[in-house]
A and B are shown apart, each in its own frame.
Chain A
Amino acid sequence: MRIMADRGKVGLRLPPITLKVEGVKIKELVEAIGDPNPIYRDREAAIAHGYRDTPCPPTFGTLAMQEFCGGYFRAFEALGISLSKVLHGEEEYEYLGEIYPGDVLTCSMTVDSIAEKQTKTGLMDLVTLRTVFTNQEGREVLRARSLIIERK
């Protein structure tokens, strides 16, 4: 039996995830990337550059999406998508506010669209997920759009 994304799931809102921003997670991420920018790991350097504390790097939003808080994997499960057939097609972030250690972000993911596409290598499902990140003050600080490709 072929596994494929269920089109009836368009508009589905996944249960929101709460993400507490930790300085150590920011540091772990930039260490793995190999980004030497001192603003992410040294509070004094960040303050000297005009930040309140160590800001998060541009791709920090990926943390919310991932397995440790269930995001993507839960989404795939809800959509009936097999993980080994999944490719990441596109990712876009819109930065609306600053995110600092100690912030508590509520991340809400919605299944925006599901489309089928015929390519040279076969039939694929394109699933667009949108995530809105709201901080403890109720302010939207980040929006993410992810295009996930399921090879069939």
Chain B
Amino acid sequence: MQSFVDFERLEIGDPLPPLTKPPITKVQLVRYAGASGDFNPIHTDDEAARRAGLKGVIAHGLLVMGFVGEAVAAWAPRRCLKRLGVRFSGMTFPGDIITVGAKVEAKERVESGLKIVCGVSAADQDGGIKLSGHFELLIPHSRA
């Protein structure tokens, strides 16, 4: 079984264990294009990317957001995730090594459990922020 973060013990400002992904590859962008259906050629064709004024192909923003989704569902059960929103702030290129980090920003006991709001961001190996945003969890009371 997976072991999740114990949000009961976390305080506001506490970080969650970061997730570092392997370097993004061009093949991964092709796979993501096929999997998501986003065939905008700026993600898969260097020529097309250059015609659009870029230095080469860039990763789909939703792929980096997918890394955030991976991290969140490692921190808490998938079904506890109620909201996830991000703002894309930087382009991600093949070779970039993305780390997803988060901090607890709010913690509130509600009738159905523990509501947690975290700030989250994804940055590359040089600390360049690719996206930042928030997610909200609702962790039901344990039946123990």
Contact = CB atoms under 8 A, between A and B. Distances in A.
A34 to B, nearest CB: 6
A30 B35 CA distance: 9
Interface stretch (B10-18, B62-70, B107-115): B62-70
Main secondary structure of the interface of A (DSSP, over half): mixed
B35 A59 contact: no
B31 interface: yes
Contacts of A68: 37
B2 interface: yes
B36 A91 contact: no
B2 A59 contact: no
Interface in B44-84: 48, 51-52, 61-63, 65-70, 72-74, 77-79, 81-84
A35 B19 CA distance: 11
A3 interface: no
B88 interface: yes
A136 interface: no
Contacts of B61: 88, 91
B40 A83 contact: yes
Interface in B1-32: 1-2, 21-22, 28, 31-32
A25 B88 CA distance: 25
Nearest to A29: B35
A28 B83 contact: no
B37 to A, nearest CB: 3
B69 A58 contact: yes
Contact of B66 (A33, A39, A49, A92): A33
Contacts of B32: 32-33
B127 interface: no
B86 interface: yes
Interface stretch (A5-13, A93-101, A105-113, A127-135): A93-101
Nearest to A72: B38
A91 B31 contact: no
Interface in A59-102: 59, 62-63, 66-69, 72, 83-95, 98
Interface of B: 1-2, 21-22, 28, 31-32, 34-40, 42, 48, 51-52, 61-63, 65-70, 72-74, 77-79, 81-88, 133
Given A57-B66, A98-B79, 10 more contacts: A25-B35, A29-B35, A29-B36, A29-B66, A34-B28, A50-B79, A62-B36, A88-B88, A91-B61, A95-B84
